[in-house]
Amino acid sequence: MVELGRDPIRVDALLDAVRVPGAGAVVLFLGTVRDHSRGRHVGHLEYEAYEALARKEMTRIATHAIERWGVRIAIVHRLGTLAIGEISVAIAVAAPHRRDAFEAGRFAIDTLKQTVPIWKKEVWASGSEWIGQEEPSPSA
């Protein structure tokens, strides 16, 4: 299960997508909107994606997790305007044993953050900033 959408993320749907009788462990990661960042009080976040490539990359991550750890995995990322405390990304991983579920889940969120073309804008009282723009970046 790989999804990218504007509706609130339903955690139950992720769990249902991965739970099977052969699973002895289910790991759930939720990325939630934090009310502060780098010393600022954050009002809300805006997420934007290059959707076609983001879906391809999320599918690639899920496929790698399945092939390497033998897990079942669901990855869902939300786009649009999110309020403090809302879930921006959710990853559920089921495996026969917990070690594989934790390792695959850690791999999936770390890789998603680095490679999936989804951008986050922090909006605070007196301005806003796209994250990733505040640090020097290599040229294309």
Residue with token string 């390792």: 103
In the list 39, 67, 114, 127, the residue contacting other proteins (rule: CB under 8 A) is: 114
Q: How many residues does the chain have?
A: 140
Q: 3-class DSSP state for residue 65?
A: helix
Which residues 64-103 are close enough to bind other proteins by CB under 8 A? none
For the bound state, the minimum distance from the C-beta of residue 51 to other proteins, rounded and expressed in Å, comes to 10
- Per DSSP bridges, beta strands 2-5 and 72-78 are parallel
Instruction: Give the whole-angstrom CA distance, residue 100 versus residue 94.
Output: 9
For other proteins, which is the closer residue by CB, 126 or 133?
133
- Which among 8-16, 46-54, 60-68, 95-103 is the span making contact with other proteins, rule CB under 8 A? 46-54
Instruction: Give the whole-angstrom CA distance, residue 106 versus residue 93.
Output: 10
For the bound state, the minimum distance from the C-beta of residue 37 to other proteins, rounded and expressed in Å, comes to 6
State yes or no: residue 138 binds other proteins (CB under 8 A). yes
Joined tokens for residue 9: 């993320």
- Which among 5-13, 45-53, 78-86, 95-103 is the span making contact with other proteins, rule CB under 8 A? 45-53
